[in-house]
């Protein structure tokens, strides 16, 4: 017998804004993902997102945004970072390309990015009602 799709881990690419979810919305992201997916998953972060967060972190003076970015960078260390460059100098385009090429779900709260992904048939995970995660385009 061959392995079924249920044996494979679902790959989820986090948009950098999703790295802020635990601190901004107080959501246990991994627990919520387990509930909505009901199967094993792997969270991926693109290297260009980490680079962009580091640049932003270095450019800021101390303050709430800098502390949140520090949290996001530390939180990202829990996940697999995939070497992937910006596309046309844009991180969002890189996320779209990666998700399209490697059949991933994208976790993002960016409405514009979600609209693009929806148009391409790429499933998305997002914060719903400021307290739990929702998913669309995935069965």
Q: Which of 91, 69, 90, 70 is nearest to 82 (CA)?
A: 91
The radius of gyration computed from the CA coordinates of the chain, to the nearest angstrom, equals: 15
3-state DSSP call for residue 70? helix
**Over the stretch 7-47, which tens digit does the pLDDT of each residue have?**
589 999 999 999 999 999 999 999 999 999 999 999 999 99
pLDDT value at residue 1:
46
Residue 40: which residues within 8 A CB-CB, separation 6 or more? Answer: 9, 10
Domains of the chain: 5-12+19-136 (3.40.50.1010)
**What pLDDT band is residue 137 in, cutting at 50, 70 and 90?**
very high
**Over the stretch 59-111, which tens digit does the pLDDT of each residue have?**
998 899 999 999 999 999 999 999 999 999 999 999 999 999 999 999 999 99
């Amino acid at each position: 017998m061959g392995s079924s799709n249920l044996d494979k881990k679902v790959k989820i690419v986090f948009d950098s804004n999703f790295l802020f979810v635990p601190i901004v919305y107080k959501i246990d992201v991994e627990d919520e993902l387990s509930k909505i997916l009901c199967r094993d998953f792997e969270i991926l972060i693109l290297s260009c997102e980490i680079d962009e967060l580091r640049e932003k972190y270095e450019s800021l003076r101390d303050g709430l945004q800098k502390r949140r970015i520090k949290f996001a960078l530390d939180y990202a260390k829990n996940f697999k970072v995939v070497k992937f460059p910006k596309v046309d100098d844009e991180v969002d385009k890189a996320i779209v390309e990666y998700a399209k090429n490697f059949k991933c779900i994208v976790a993002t709260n960016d409405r514009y990015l979600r609209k693009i992904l929806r148009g391409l048939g790429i499933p998305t995970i997002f914060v719903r009602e400021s307290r739990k995660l929702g998913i669309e385009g995935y069965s």
